[in-house]
């Protein structure tokens, strides 16, 4: 189990967060963070903040 470093948080005011989809044939994500489904399947969406914090979510499109 990995401990969460609570000193670094993904803040709403972080400038220019970046978004990335692990499989753009399943879902894409805009520069604003809006996710668009493309086809059935599962992918991960990653968010990278300027302070070095990153988060991921799993998206399942039926």
Where are the chain's structural domains?
18-61
More confident residue, 21 or 8: 21
- Quick one: average pLDDT of 9-22? 77
Q: Which residue in the block uniquely carries the two structure tokens 């220019």? A: 16
More confident residue, 13 or 51: 51
> Which residues make Cβ contacts (< 8 Å) with residue 19, sequence separation at least 6?
29, 30, 31, 33, 45, 46, 47, 48
- Quick one: average pLDDT of 4-32? 80
């Amino acid at each position: 189990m990995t401990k969460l470093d609570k000193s670094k948080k993904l803040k709403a005011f972080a400038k220019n967060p970046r978004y990335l989809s692990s499989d753009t044939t399943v879902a894409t994500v805009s520069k604003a963070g809006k996710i668009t489904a493309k086809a059935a399947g599962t992918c991960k969406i990653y968010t990278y903040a300027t302070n070095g914090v990153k988060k991921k979510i799993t998206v399942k499109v039926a």
